[in-house]
Homo-oligomer: A and B are copies of this chain.
Amino acid sequence: MRGPRIDPGGPLGRYAGRMPRRGPLPRLQDLGEFGLIDRIAALGGRRRAPGVVLGMGDDAAILRLRPHEDVVVTTDALVEGVHFRFDQESARTAGRRALAANLSDLAAMGARPLGFTWALAAPPSLPARTALELARGLLDLAGRHACPLVGGNVSRASEVSLTLAALGAVARGRALTRAGARPGDRILVTGALGRAGLERARGRVRHVGEPRLRAGRALARAGLATACIDISDGLLADLGQLCRASRVGALLDARLVPRARNLGAAARRASLDPLALALGGGEDYELLFTVAPRAPAPARLARLLDVAVTEIGAVTERGLRVAGAPAGQAHATGWRHF
């Protein structure tokens, strides 16, 4: 909870023109660090959760695990101009997306969320309203997944960035990891892909992929997955990471990859290739996992995970190959066309 006071009296700067001004619009520098923290707390940032022994406001937070659990931790950042732009998405959506990325990592481990920390860096001239909308986005999603904000930091910086660390808990020996896929294993994916990539490509981001926390936990409990990763960088890129960690290859059938509803029509209207969006678009936050050859059929896995599950390929000894896609499609990702 440490951080410098926000400099008073700086120029209003480049955020001046972005919002309609009816009377003076408070900026971060008007609110100050403690003012901002109080407002965030009022939004529900201090809501207690069962595992929180001590929340925001001390030198550190204290969280309690259940017996025979390990703690899981991940960190991810969203930087203005790199991962988001205020002219392409609302601050609330950006906030939601920052937490979604971290919760999706917990989902990919099969963990339940315990809480998260939020370090905000921003220019002193940022409208306070924008900072609070970022907080609302974070806290909306946090509330839905019982993952309370337990600590944070506010710093001055020349652009807005949100750096989160999310903590989760997983039963010992039950965590899903990227390593463990074996040749012959089947490759499956939850939900459908391409929507997040489509919105980003069109420059209008409204939808945020919902982290598959419930499905991840069910998968970990069932002990059926040999490896698991979340789709944050794109199906091909993330399957590549899973294969690297497992020291195996993969043969993916592009025709089997489940596409988001209306993806084809929407992509064509925007002169985009729906297959490229499904294979390459990230941030859908679906789970990609492998199971042994004799594991249950996709329909039974779908009932177990309470989400659509599609089989899209198989683990091989080596090499990354994609079938059913036009030549050149998978080129840029290190995948070979088959």
Contact = CB atoms under 8 A, between A and B. Distances in A.
Nearest to A106: B60
Interface string A172-183: 100101110000
Contacts of A172: 64
Interface stretch (A36-44, A147-155, A251-259, A318-326): A147-155
A306 interface: no
A159 B158 CA distance: 8
B155 A83 contact: yes
Nearest to A118: B75
Interface string A220-240: 000000000110110000000
A165 interface: yes
Contacts of A229: 59
A164 to B, nearest CB: 9
Interface stretch (A108-116, A138-146, A271-279, A292-300): A108-116
Nearest to A62: B70
Given A54-B177, A121-B77, A155-B82, A60 B168 contact: yes
Contact of A153 (B57, B75, B111): B75
B73 A151 contact: yes
B117 A165 contact: yes
Which of A59, A71, A118, A166 is most buried by chain B, counting CB atoms within 10 A of its CB? A59
Nearest to A108: B59
A82 B156 contact: yes
Nearest to A82: B156
Contacts of A233: 2
Contact of A161 (B4, B161, B175): B161
A74 B60 contact: yes
A307 interface: no
Given A2-B105, A163-B163, A232-B2, A72 B76 contact: no
Contact of A119 (B70, B163, B168, B179): B163
Interface in A30-63: 53-54, 57-63
10 contacts: A4-B83, A59-B109, A59-B230, A64-B70, A65-B65, A65-B70, A75-B165, A82-B156, A157-B157, A157-B161
